[in-house]
Amino acid sequence: MNELFNRQSAQKPMRLPAGESSSFDANAQQWQDCGADGFLIKPLMEDPVSGLRTWLMKVDAGAFSALHAHDEVEQIYVLEGSFYDQERTYQAGEYIVRAPAAMHTAGSETGAVVLLFYSPSPEA
């Protein structure tokens, strides 16, 4: 796969809680470089055992990522602004889900904030 994100950070996301709830103030967390120009992330939750990841991603106006894919199921919910791929532009309130290995582009003409969910392929 041509994975877009290569995150190396000192900030650690929460782990999947074991039988309880966990929370933190994502507003207090700094946006992090993810290795793709114009794309910043805030990892919210990552579980190395199950492979689940939940991130906020900020896309700068004019940012674009060439064709790539992820090994996991990718779910995207647009919170602010507009976000596009090779198919169309999505506005705040719209939702996209991609199968593992689905090739796609990503970008924003005006800037966006999206909520990302990654989960392992059901066949994995």
Q: pLDDT tens digits, residue range 16-38? A: 777 788 788 899 999 999 999 99
Nearest alpha carbon to residue 115 among 96, 100, 101, 102: 96
25 Cβ contact list (under 8 Å, min separation 6): none
Residues 40 and 58: beta-carbon distance below 8 Å: yes
Cβ atoms within 10 Å of 80's Cβ, excluding its own: 14
**20, burial (CB in 10 Å: exposed 0-12, middle 13-18, buried 19+):** exposed
Read off the DSSP letter of residue 26: G
Nearest alpha carbon to residue 43 among 8, 17, 74: 8
Distance separating alpha carbons of residues 120 and 96, to the nearest angstrom: 16
Q: What is the pLDDT of residues 44-80, one digit of tens each?
A: 999 999 999 999 999 999 999 999 999 999 999 999 9
Q: What is the pLDDT of residue 94?
A: 98
Read off the DSSP letter of residue 11: S
